[in-house]
Structure 1
Amino acid sequence: MSIKRLNRLTLGGQASRRDDILMALQALGCMHLVPLSEDNAQSNRALAMQQPTEASEALAWLSRVERRRRPVRDKELVDIDELVAQILENKRSIRQQQDKRDLLKERLQLLRPWGDFDLPELSSINNLRFWFYVVPLKKFSDLAELELPWQEVHRDQKNAYIIVVSESEPEEGLLPVERSHVGQHCLPEVQEHLEISEQHLEDLYAEREALTRWIYPLSQSLAASQDRAELLLASSGVQDEGEFFLVQGWVPVDAQETVIELADAYGAAVVFEEPSDEDQPPTMLENSDLTGGGAEAMGFFQTPNYREWDPGNLVFYSFSLFFAMIMNDAMYCAIFGLIILFFKDKLLASTSGKRLMNLGLFMSGLGIVWGVLAGSYFGMTPSEGSFLSFFHIIDMNDYDAMMKLSVFIGVAHLIIANVMTAYINRPSPKALAPLGWAALMFGGMLLWFGMTGTIWAWLGKFFGVIFMLGGAGLVCVFSSDRPVNNRKDLLLRALDGAKAIYNITSAFGDILSYMRLFALGLSGASLAMTFNSLAGQVVEAQPVSGVLFGGLILLLGHVLNFALCIMSGVVHGMRLNVIEFVNWGLSDEGYPFKAFRKKED
Structure 2
Amino acid sequence: MITQMKKISVITIRSARTETLQALRDLGVVHVFTDRTDVDSGDQLREQKNHIDRAISIIPSPEARPKAAEALHQGDAAVDPALDIAQELIESADRRAQLEDEQDRLQRELERLEPWGELDPQVFADLRDRGVEVRLFEAPADKAREILSELPNVTVLSQNKRLVRAVAVALGSDRFPEGLAGVPLPDRSTGEIREALTELDREMAEIDAEAEARQKDLPLLLAAQEQLEQDLEFARVAQTMEHDRALEWITGFVPFDQVDAVTSAAKENGWGVVVRDPSKDEHVPTQLRNPKPVRIIQPVFDLLGTVPGYRELDISFFFLLFFVVFFAMIIGDAGYGAILLGGTIYTALKARAAGRPLGNGSILMIVLSSATVVWGAITGNWFGYAPFNNLPVFRSLVIPGISIDSETSTEMIQYMCFIIGTVHLSIAHIWKFLRGLRERPRIAALAQLGWLSMVLGLYYLVLQLVIDPEKYPMPDFALPLIAGGLAAVIIFGEQQEGKGFLSGVGRGVAGIITTILDSISAFSDIISYIRLFAVGLATLAIAEAFNSMAGGVAEGLGGVGGIVAAVLILFLGHTLNLAMGALSVVVHGVRLNMLEFSGHLGMEWTGVEYTPFKTR
TM-score normalised by length of structure 2? 0.71
TM-superposed CA distance for 1:583, in Å, is 0.8
After TM superposition, give the deviation of residue 404 of structure 1 in Å: 0.8
Q: Which amino acid aligns with 1:436?
A: G
**Aligned-partner residue type, residue 81 of structure 1:** L
Whether 2:459 is the aligned partner of 1:445: answer: yes
Deviation at 1:477, TM superposition (A): 3.8
Match of 1:291 in 2: 297
Give 1:18's aligned residue.
Answer: 17
Could you say which residue in structure 1 is the equivalent of 2:89? 87
- 1:254 deviates by 0.9
Q: Which residue of 1 aligns with 2:541?
A: 526
Question: Which of 408, 411, 435 is residue 449 of structure 2 equivalent to?
Answer: 435
Q: Which amino acid aligns with 2:455?
A: M
Aligned pair 1:592/2:598, yes or no? no
Contact 1:108 1:190 in 2 (8 A): yes
| 1:395 aligns to 2:404 (yes or no) | yes
Partner of 1:412 in structure 2? 423
Distance 1:269 1:471 in 2: 54
Provide the C-alpha distance between the structure 1 equivalents of 2:350 and 2:105, rounded to a whole number of angstroms.
35
Choose 409-418 or 529-538, whichever is displaced more: 529-538
- Partners of 2:382 and 2:524 lie apart in 1 by 33
Report which stretch shifted further, 525-534 or 552-561: 552-561
Of 251, 261, 264, the match for 1:261: 264
1:320 maps to what in 2? 324
Residue in structure 2 matching 1:234, options 220, 237, 251: 237
Question: Structure 1: how far apart are the matches of 2:533 and 2:454?
Answer: 24
Q: Give deviations 1:347-375, integer Å, cap 9, x for gaps.
A: 999x9x95445444443333343333333
For 2:500 and 2:61, locate their aligned partners in 1 and report how far apart those are by CA, in whole Å.
74
Contact 1:484/1:493, CA 8 A, preserved across alignment: no
Alignment-mate amino acid for residue 585 of structure 2: G
Question: Could you list the per-position Cα deviations for residues 448-473 of structure 1 after superposition, in whole angstroms to 9, with x for gaps in the alignment?
Answer: 76998999989x83775786576556
TM superposition shift of 1:539 = 4.0
Instruction: Kindly indicate whether residue 215 of structure 2 is the aligned counterpart of residue 212 of structure 1.
Output: yes
- The DSSP-based 3-state class of the residue aligned with 1:240 is strand
Q: How do residues 177-576 of structure 1 correspond to structure 2 at under 5 angstroms?
A: 204-287=207-290, 288=292, 289-297=295-303, 299-300=305-306, 303-333=307-337, 354-387=359-392, 389-390=394-395, 391-392=397-398, 394-395=403-404, 398-427=409-438, 428-445=442-459, 461=475, 471-472=485-486, 474-481=488-495, 489=503, 492=506, 495=509, 502=516, 503-543=518-558, 553-554=569-570, 556-576=572-592
Flag the 1:232–1:554 CA change in 2: closer, same or farther, 3 A: same
Q: How far apart are the structure 2 equivalents of 1:435 and 1:492? A: 20
CA contact (8 A) 2:49 2:228 kept: no
Give, in whole Å, the separation in 2 of the partners of 1:215 and 1:373.
51
Q: 1:19/1:596 Cα in 2 relative to 1: closer, same or farther (>3 Å)? A: farther
Superposed counterparts of 1:154-193, under 5 Å:
none
Q: 1:532/1:196 Cα in 2 relative to 1: closer, same or farther (>3 Å)?
A: farther
Q: Distance in 2 between matches of 1:294 and 1:191?
A: 53
Q: Deviations over 1:539-593 (max 9, x none)?
A: 4444477667656655554454344333222112222222111111134543314
Q: Report the Cα distance in structure 1 between the residues aligned to 2:476 and 2:373, rounded to whole angstroms.
A: 39
Residues 332 and 381 in structure 2, CA contact (< 8 A), matched pair in contact too: yes
Shift of 1:494: 6.4
SS class of match (1:383): helix
Q: Offset of 1:305 from its aligned partner?
A: 2.3
The CA distance in 2 between the partners of 1:217 and 1:493, in whole Å, is 64
Equivalent-residue separation in structure 2 for 1:104 and 1:334 (angstroms)? 56
Deviation of the 1:267 alpha carbon? 1.0
Distance (Å, rounded) in 1 between the aligned partners of 2:288 and 2:258: 15
Structure 2 distance, partners of 1:485, 1:92, is 68
3-state SS of the aligned residue for 2:388?
coil
Cα deviations across residues 94-115 of structure 1 (Å, max 9, x unaligned)?
A: 66778899999999999xxxxx
Equivalent residue for 1:174? none
Please say if residues 458 and 523 of structure 2, whose CA atoms lie closer than 8 Å, have aligned partners that are also in contact. Answer: no
Matches within 5 A, 1:69-108: 71-75=70-74, 76=77, 79-92=81-94
Q: 1:38 matched to which residue of 2?
A: none
1:31 and 1:485 map into 2 onto residues whose CA distance is 38
Q: Secondary structure in 2 aligned to 1:79?
A: helix
> For the Cα contact (< 8 Å) 2:379–2:404, is it kept in 1?
yes
Cα separation, partners in 2 of 1:215 and 1:13, compared to 1, 3 Å: same
Inter-CA distance 340–485: structure 2 relative to 1 (3 Å threshold): closer
Q: Distance in 2 between matches of 1:44 and 1:194?
A: 43
Classify the secondary structure of the residue corresponding to 1:3: coil
For the structure 1 residues 101 and 89, does the alpha-carbon distance in structure 2 shift closer, same or farther, using more than 3 Å as the test?
same
| Deviation by residue 1:379-426 (Cα, 9 ceiling, x = unmatched) | 333434215632345438732112111111111111122222222222
Question: CA–CA distance in 2 between the matches of 1:559 and 1:508?
Answer: 36
Q: Call closer, same or farther: CA 1:565–1:470 in 2, change over 3 Å.
A: same
Q: Is the 1:321–1:366 contact (alpha carbons within 8 Å) kept by the matching residues of 2?
A: yes
Could you say which residue in structure 1 is the equivalent of 2:32?
Answer: 33
Distance 1:520 1:305 in 2: 32
Does structure 2 retain, via aligned residues, the 8 Å contact 1:12–1:245?
yes
1-structure distance, mates of 2:194, 2:524:
67
Distance across 2 between alignment mates of 1:72 and 1:485 = 64
Residue by residue over 1:165-201, the C-alpha shift from the partner in whole angstroms, topping out at 9 and shown as x without a partner, is 9999xxxxxxxxxx9x9999999x9999999888766
**Residue-by-residue CA offset, 1:179-231 (whole Å, 9 max, x unaligned):** 9x9999999x9999999888766765553344233323322323332333332
Which structure 2 residue ranges, 5 or more long, are not aligned? 113-122, 137-152, 159-165, 171-182
Aligned residues: 577
Percent of residue pairs bearing the same amino acid type: 25
- Counterpart Cα distance in 1 of 2:362 and 2:100: 35
**Preserved CA contact (<8 Å) 1:12 1:244:** yes
**Are the aligned partners of 1:13 and 1:245 in contact in 2 as well (CA < 8 Å)?**
yes
User: Which position in structure 2 is the counterpart of 1:134?
Assistant: none
Look up the SS of the partner of 2:39 in the other structure: helix
Give TM-score, length-normalised by structure 1. 0.73
**1:504 counterpart SS class:** helix
CA contact (8 A) 1:441 1:468 kept: yes
Secondary structure at the counterpart of residue 280 of structure 2: coil
Give the Cα–Cα distance (whole angstroms) in 1 for the partners of residues 530 and 373 of structure 2: 21
Range with bigger deviation, 241-250 or 394-403: 394-403
Q: 1:104 to 1:373 in 2, by over 3 A?
A: farther
RMSD between aligned residues: 5.7
Give per-residue Cα distances to partners, 1:474-509, cap 9 Å, x unaligned: 434432315899896486266269567623211101
Per mean C-alpha deviation after superposition, the further-off stretch among 571-580 and 287-296 is 287-296
Matched AA of 1:293: P
